[in-house]
Amino acid sequence: MHSTFSRISNISSFLSTCLMALLVAVAVSSLFLTADPKGKVDIVSLKVYNAKAKRYPFKEQEFGFVKFDIDADLQSLFNWNTKQLFVYLEAEYSNVQGVNNTIVLWDRIVRRKEDAHVTVSSGRNKYKFKELSESFRNAPSAEFSLKYNVMPYVGLLTYGEAARTEAHEIPETRDAIA
């Protein structure tokens, strides 16, 4: 007949096939769940300062500083297959050469449905807002958007947008920061 090793191998392959079929069913079923999160982003202030770059002490570069308010209810994104959310504020603008730039200014990881009502008042950018060509000159405006990434237990990552602002004019450079 069959040896003990061959019976254990058959049983384990059958169980792993059943587990994979179950995981595929979970991933496919979560694709049909729809959510429409709503949020609001207000840009309180946007200032541009001239400062020296750390790597090149004799070279000056412009840095943007943003103060913002966020109020977003993302609880509808949580379901039985949601592990966590990655929420981030993004700035989009075009530079002098006509290249579209997208920069992440702030982010947060939301792990529980109870924490999915994101409220930030007088928040500041967590990451540098700078132009690679050293100057924001002739960059007419920037749009800010609150985006999210749903990370499931099983299945594909899904991306979306909860809020977007109108275009804000990028101001002229202020005095250098010491």
For 20-72, what is each residue's pLDDT tens digit?
888 888 777 777 777 788 899 999 988 888 877 677 777 777 888 889 999 99
- Residue 101 contacts residue 94 (beta carbons within 8 Å): yes
Q: How many other β-carbons are positioned within 10 Å of the β-carbon of residue 139?
A: 19
Strand ranges (DSSP E) for 17-81? 38-52, 60-73
Residue 69: predicted pLDDT: 93
Whole-angstrom distance, CA of residue 70 vs CA of residue 118:
7
Indicate the pTM of the whole model.
0.81
Between 87 and 56, residue with greater pLDDT: 87
174: pLDDT confidence band, cut at 50, 70 and 90?
Answer: low
Half-sphere exposure of 38 (CA within 13 A, CB side): 0
- Residue 42 contacts residue 69 (beta carbons within 8 Å): yes
